[in-house]
Amino acid sequence: MADSQIEHYYLELSANPIRFEAVSKVVNVFFDDSNKQVFAVRSGGVTGVIVQGPTEQTTRSFRMEDKGPVISIKFSPDQQVLALQRTKTSVEFVNFLGEMESFEYSQSCKGKNTVILGFVWTHSNEIVFVTDHGIELYQVQPEKHSLKALKSYSMSVNWFVFCPQSNLMLLSTSTLGNQMQPMFFRQGTYSKLNKLEIDLPVVPKPAKLCLLERDVTLAVLYGQPCIVVLRHQPRGVGNTGAEVVVYTILKMSTVKKSHILRLDMSGRFAINVVDNLIIVHHQASKTSMLFDINLPGESDGFVTYHQPVAPAQPIKPFSLRLPIATASQVLSEPAQLKCELYSPNWVVFQPNIVIDAKLGCLWYVELRLQPMVELIQDRCLLVDFLMQRRDSKAVIIKVLQNILEPTEKNRGYLVVISELFDHLNDVYRSFLEVEMQSQMGMPASSGLSVSPAKPTVPVAPKASVVIDQADLYTHVFSHFADYKDEENNGGGKFIVWILLEYIRSLTDYHIPVQHYLHELVINSLVHYKAYYQLHQLLQYHVVSDSKPLACLLLSLENLYPAAHQLALDMLRRLSTANEEIIEVLLSKQQILPALRFVRSTGSVDQVSARKFLEAAKATEDPTIFYSVYRFFEQRNQRLKGDPAFSKGEHCEAYIQHFQELFCDANSNT
Amino acid sequence: MTTKSEIRLQNFYVYNSSYGQKEGEELKNILYYFPPQTDFDSQMKTVGLTEALIKFTETFNPDQSCESLHTQKTRQLYYQPERGFWMAMTLNIPYITKTKDGTEYQEYQSDEVQDTVYLAVLQQSYQMFRLFKGTFGAILESKGGDVDYLKQKLDHFFSRYLPTLKLNHCDILDIFQGIQFLPLDKQTFLRVQCFVNLIEALFAQVKYTTFLYNDQLVWSGLEPSDMQVVYRYLVTSLLPAHLETELQGGSIPRHPPSPFTSSHYGRFVTGPSNLQDTSAGVGKVPKVHLNNDTTPETYHLVVYRALSATVCLFIDGSLILNLDLFKRLDIFLGPHLTSLVSEVAEQCGKQAANSGSSSPETSPKFVYFNKLNLAQKSTVHLDSRRTGNVCVTSEVLKLLADINSDKARMPATGETILKTLSDYWVIGKLSNLREFYAVIQQKNANLIEINDEVKRLCDNQLKNIFFHD
């Protein structure tokens, strides 16, 4: 526990790295970032290939004839066809339909002096060759052992990057390499997006290629494809060191320079994307920086400038558990190998892969949220940050439990708490809207009461994690009861303040408040004997009417007499609780008011005569009993044409009582 | 035409019979006497008579002491607020000078002085004293039973308080001593509530807070028994006086425009008038005594106002107030309150537009009171300043108090309907511990029509509560 308090490592490497044969004279290693497969290709006589992917289905090994060194090797997305490149002008294909076929078929690129820069599977049977003269899109026909040219486009290409998540390809052209042609691949075709020019910090003379493939990354951030460009600039006067420029691609058509991340360092960098965060690894300092383009930053109206979310931290140290080699080691500790972090042998792939080729390890870079609680001081910012992360609920709840604990210290944070609730509920509302939309299959907002300012409903929730009323109740509010006893005269108020602040925020966002929150407010106020304050809250209808709450109020009558009146009012407003009102009045021996009430609701013919006669008898007031008795006799007369009570009404005892009280006296006169 | 004389205060005194039980020491019993210029002999006679009367009547009903004494020309009212301490006041009965057979004579209008109303006035005077000075017992205790000290306090308070009594404008509202709440939607109310909570969270010295908009209460952290006294003090005394000085002050801004503070309209009603002037001190801040019935505590009453909103802060009385605290309060309250008040004003405007202010002349007038939360509403009175600004005749106004004093004879639910010679119908209804009085002026109406009219009025005004007929 204590360790995690001190540890500020917000990044770690996945606990079980994929191990593969390390690079050596006879072993070449390839990584296909589309399928996340590592190919260890052992040459010499027969080429042995060991493929390791994230799942069982993508892991296999096979052998093939050695026809020369492999330049690139990739399976099709459905793992049915293997494409491998051995020469600069052609790509060979092997079918894996069920089992590996021994027959290879080949496809050369067009043009005599054309060189293939690389190839990418864009769909299960479509492949694109990128050459220095353009791109060529083919359809692979495994059963025919041939390829069919679909489309091609000519342009001079320096290098390219491809993002399998968005099916977007970026081609570098022009002498400087900073003219970019984005291409979006769809089944059977591709579309060209507007070209863009990436501005360079210095233009060399004479002009030469100065924007390199390693500095450009394609990523998907918050559902939007982005081009992430590292911009090296020497630190000096007016220069703050390297920056990362983020270009956002809007609706797969236009590209906009939207964010600049200030690195404040220079040297070698590598970029990963984890959980919508941009991670910039810096080799010299052996640290990594975290950027969230969703958090507010300085803006000049076009571009938002971001600082790291938290001070740069190294990745958490990682040790490899080595297989036990000799018998002598059995007794000792299992051998561990401490891995060098930020090693020169590291190769970084998108979105979150680090490969140490010398070690034969593939890790996923993972985020550790707990340290962020210490690293981000601003609680609102912290919660905003956390809500955007996956699986952050437990951490958020802990943060909330901490700040909402009814202690003297937290009193001063009420302003922050107020803002915090607004942030939570902003996201909460967006979730509800999405839910409504999916339920009704049309724009929502009607059920969530009016919010006239929002004609267009967002289709996606504003964050990946929502903290709703039930969460706060179960994990935070319901524990308030534990503090009640050790309360030292300020704590009680604080609990009520928090609850009201939360209800206020829900109300501001037009979210219906759940009854258990209301109940909690009432019980807290009752516990601190703040009855008049409770009365005011009810008076302004802060607490929504419901039968259970009315009953709760009725039960409070002994503590606070006015609760009875409040309960009656509430029952009345509900308009479905006439039965209850009659019961309450009768229990107070208000027989005649109860009868009048019955008459005003028009249910005279339905009520039970026995109930009223019983209550009237209990008052021991003969006048009241007489009035009630006569009232029901009249009803009988009207309904049945006879004043007598029928057997089914079980009024015999009261008929007798009436006769004892009045009829004997009558006969005497 | 005949003219009616006014109701005047003839005398007002506080005594405790246990202080001078020996013959010749009667003067010691008298703790306060108004008018002060009265000679001791008359004082002793008056007080002696009262003592005797109360002693005498006690023999008939030891559980309930005498409350008033009717004579042709005067009315005397008695109240024992604390054990052994009696307060009494004598009022002149107004008269009309008439001429009969050439000789002038005076016809005394004893109905003009209603016991329940003026007994309430007497009780209020004690409550107001207690708010500012504490209970008699507590004052004595604080100085080791020094009666002279209590006399000083009484003199200090009542010599200023009594001249402010508006005896000719007392009516049923004095009996209720209710509080007018601002009708507000839930959302805006919660904003106000949370603002008040913020104040108390940020300034731990502030133990209680109340929030008013114009003369109407939005939130009270005080107990209702204290709130009704504080409310009366604010609405009938402090705020009108403040408004007056503000009007006289003209357009000179209190805050010299400073580049460091954003513009807001907040200022202290009690407290320093100029926060920049360090030599002026913190100004006059009254001390008030709250929770006198249970655990008496003293508080500084700091009142802050921005536009139409008034915030009362009850600050722990043991603290010494300094300018720094006021500055910090001003920095927080000023901007927050200024923006909040415009929100409240907007909501009030909306509600006023929705309800569609009915023409004041013809529509029925009503008075509503709920003793459980002290909520009171009146369309009979045109403002809440208690200066006799009413829209019915004084005769009708008196009928309201008469019906009210009659309600003791009613069961929990009941109704009284009266018709006056001037075609006024006056209706009093009691239900679910609430009182509702209506005044309808309608010529040639019958009971059924009036009953329907009252029903409509109730449905309209009281639709959200259980008020059965």
CATH classification of the domain holding B440: 3.30.450
Please give the pLDDT value at position A669. Answer: 41
pLDDT digits (tens, 9 = 90+) for A127-169: 999 998 888 899 988 888 888 888 888 888 999 999 988 889 9
CB A19 within 8 A of CB A13: no
CA-closest candidate to residue A155, choices A136, A178, A140, A176: A136
Q: Count the domains in chain B.
A: 3
pTM of the model: 0.84
Q: Which residue has the tokens 């100029």?
A: B274
pLDDT digits (tens, 9 = 90+) for B409-461: 777 778 888 888 888 888 888 887 888 898 888 888 888 888 888 888 888 88
**Judgement on whether residues B349 and B229 belong to the same structural domain of the protein:** yes
Q: Do A415 and B198 touch (CB under 8 A)?
A: yes
In a domain? residue B259: yes
CB A306 within 8 A of CB A1: no
Kindly report the nearest CA distance between residue A545 and chain B, in angstroms.
11
- Distance, in Å, from the CA atom of B318 to the CA atom of B322, rounded to the nearest integer, reads 13
- Distance, in Å, from the CA atom of A553 to the CA atom of B466, rounded to the nearest integer, reads 15
Interface of B with A (CB under 8 A): 181, 184, 186-187, 189-191, 193-194, 197-198, 200-202, 204, 219-224, 227, 370, 372-373, 375, 412-413, 431-434, 464-466, 468-469
Please give the pLDDT value at position A237. Answer: 58
Nearest by CB to residue B468, choosing from A490, A508, A596, is: A596
Q: Do B189 and A569 touch (CB under 8 A)?
A: no
Kindly report the nearest CA distance between residue A318 and chain B, in angstroms.
46
Asked whether the bond before A206 is cis by omega within 30 degrees of 0, the reply is yes
Residue A272 belongs to what H/E stretch?
A: strand A269-274
Q: A518 by DSSP, 3-state: which?
A: helix
In a domain? residue B457: yes
In a domain? residue B271: yes
| pLDDT exceeds cutoff 90 at A62 | no
Residue B67: Cβ-neighbour burial (10 angstroms; 0-12, 13-18, 19+): middle
**Judgement on whether residues B141 and B162 belong to the same structural domain of the protein:** yes
Return the ∠ at Cα B34 (arms to B30 and B39), rounded to 5°: 70
pLDDT digits (tens, 9 = 90+) for A185-226: 888 888 888 888 888 877 777 778 888 888 899 999 988 899
Chain B contacts in chain A segment 249-278 (CB below 8 A): none
Nearest by CB to residue A508, choosing from B187, B198, B469, is: B187
Nearest by CB to residue B201, choosing from A412, A533, A541, is: A412
Residue of B nearest to A560 (CA): B372
Q: Do A532 and B193 touch (CB under 8 A)?
A: no
Chain B contacts in chain A segment 554-583 (CB below 8 A): 561-562, 565, 568-569, 571-573, 581
CB B17 within 8 A of CB B51: yes
**Judgement on whether residues B127 and B204 belong to the same structural domain of the protein:** no
In a domain? residue B179: no
- Distance, in Å, from the CA atom of A17 to the CA atom of A320, rounded to the nearest integer, reads 9
Nearest by CB to residue A540, choosing from B184, B198, B433, is: B184
- Distance, in Å, from the CA atom of B67 to the CA atom of B49, rounded to the nearest integer, reads 14
Nearest by CB to residue A532, choosing from B220, B370, B469, is: B220
User: Binning pLDDT at 50, 70 and 90, where does residue A320 land?
Assistant: confident
In a domain? residue B142: yes
For residue A97, the number of C-alpha atoms closer than 13 Å in the C-beta half-sphere is 9
Q: Do A565 and B434 touch (CB under 8 A)?
A: yes
Q: Which stretch of A244-253, A335-344, B347-356 has the lowest confidence by average pLDDT?
A: B347-356
**Judgement on whether residues B316 and B208 belong to the same structural domain of the protein:** yes
Please give the pLDDT value at position A6. Answer: 59
pLDDT digits (tens, 9 = 90+) for A440-474: 765 444 445 444 444 454 567 788 888 989 999 99
Q: Do A532 and B198 touch (CB under 8 A)?
A: no
Amino acid at A234: P
| pLDDT exceeds cutoff 80 at B10 | yes
Residue in A539, A583, A584 to test binding to B, most B beta-carbons within 10 Å: A539
Neighboring chain A residues of B375 at a CB cutoff of 8 Å: 539
CB A478 within 8 A of CB A397: no
Q: Do B466 and A581 touch (CB under 8 A)?
A: yes
Quick one: fold of A34-160? Answer: Methylamine Dehydrogenase; Chain H (2.130.10)
**Judgement on whether residues B379 and B281 belong to the same structural domain of the protein:** no
Neighboring chain B residues of A500 at a CB cutoff of 8 Å: 190, 193-194, 197
**Inter-CA distances, A252 with A162, A170, A592, Å:** 15, 13, 75
Kindly report the nearest CA distance between residue A504 and chain B, in angstroms.
5
**Judgement on whether residues B332 and B373 belong to the same structural domain of the protein:** no
Integer Rg of chain B from CA: 25
Kindly report the nearest CA distance between residue B316 and chain A, in angstroms.
14
How much is the average pLDDT of B339-351?
88
- Distance, in Å, from the CA atom of B60 to the CA atom of B37, rounded to the nearest integer, reads 36
Q: Do A536 and B184 touch (CB under 8 A)?
A: no
Of B355, B389, B414, the position where a domain reaches its end is: B355
Q: Do A581 and B413 touch (CB under 8 A)?
A: no
pLDDT digits (tens, 9 = 90+) for A106-116: 888 887 888 88
Kindly report the nearest CA distance between residue B359 and chain A, in angstroms.
27
Which position has the higher pLDDT, A492 or B73? B73
| Beta-sheet strands, E only, within A53-164 | 60-65, 72-75, 81-85, 90-95, 104-108, 116-123, 126-131, 134-141, 146-154, 159-163
- Return the DSSP state at A236: B
Neighboring chain A residues of B434 at a CB cutoff of 8 Å: 565
Neighboring chain B residues of A540 at a CB cutoff of 8 Å: 184, 186, 189
Terminal CA-CA length for chain B? 44
Nearest by CB to residue A562, choosing from B190, B372, B469, is: B372
Residue of A nearest to B455 (CA): A600
In a domain? residue B314: yes
Q: Do A504 and B219 touch (CB under 8 A)?
A: no
- Name the residue ranges covered by the structural domains of chain A: 1-10+164-321+335-368, 34-160, 373-574, 577-669
Residue A257 belongs to what H/E stretch?
A: strand A254-262
| pLDDT exceeds cutoff 70 at B261 | no
Q: Do B468 and A593 touch (CB under 8 A)?
A: yes
Neighboring chain A residues of B372 at a CB cutoff of 8 Å: 535, 561-562, 565
Integer Rg of chain A from CA: 38
Kindly report the nearest CA distance between residue A400 and chain B, in angstroms.
18
Given the cut 0.90, state whether the ipTM is greater than it: no
* Domain assignment of residue B385, given as a range: 365-461
**Inter-CA distances, A374 with A4, A399, A544, B461, Å:** 10, 10, 39, 56
Q: A346 by DSSP, 3-state: which?
A: strand
CATH of the domain at B333: 3.30.450.30
Residue in B185, B194, B316, B464 to test binding to A, most A beta-carbons within 10 Å: B194
Kindly report the nearest CA distance between residue A618 and chain B, in angstroms.
17
pLDDT digits (tens, 9 = 90+) for B62-72: 888 889 999 99
Neighboring chain A residues of B204 at a CB cutoff of 8 Å: 411, 490
Q: Do A411 and B204 touch (CB under 8 A)?
A: yes
Q: Residue A241 region, left (φ>0) first, then alpha (ψ -120 to 50), else beta?
A: left
Neighboring chain B residues of A569 at a CB cutoff of 8 Å: 432, 464-466
In a domain? residue B427: yes
Q: Which stretch of A361-365, A563-567, B240-244, B329-333 has the lowest confidence by average pLDDT?
A: B240-244
Q: Do A572 and B465 touch (CB under 8 A)?
A: yes
Q: Do A540 and B189 touch (CB under 8 A)?
A: yes
Q: Which residue has the tokens 């005649």?
A: A592
Nearest by CB to residue B468, choosing from A490, A501, A600, is: A600
Kindly report the nearest CA distance between residue B187 and chain A, in angstroms.
6
**Judgement on whether residues B147 and B70 belong to the same structural domain of the protein:** yes
For residue B389, the number of C-alpha atoms closer than 13 Å in the C-beta half-sphere is 8
In a domain? residue B439: yes
User: Binning pLDDT at 50, 70 and 90, where does residue A333 land?
Assistant: low
Residue of B nearest to A590 (CA): B412
Q: Do A592 and B221 touch (CB under 8 A)?
A: no
How much is the average pLDDT of A631-641?
87
Mean pLDDT of chain A: 83
Q: Which residues contact B416 (CB under 8 A, 6 or more apart)?
A: B403, B406, B410, B427, B428, B429
Q: A259 by DSSP, 3-state: which?
A: strand
How much is the average pLDDT of B109-129?
91
Whether chain B has a CB inside 8 Å of the CB on A508: the answer is yes
Of B327, B355, B383, the position where a domain reaches its end is: B355
Own/partner pairs, A378-386, CB within 8 angstroms, 24+ separation: A379/A403, A379/A413, A379/A416, A379/A420, A380/A416, A380/A419, A380/A420, A380/A423, A381/A295, A383/A420, A383/A423, A383/A424, A384/A294, A384/A295, A384/A423, A385/A292, A385/A295, A385/A309, A386/A465
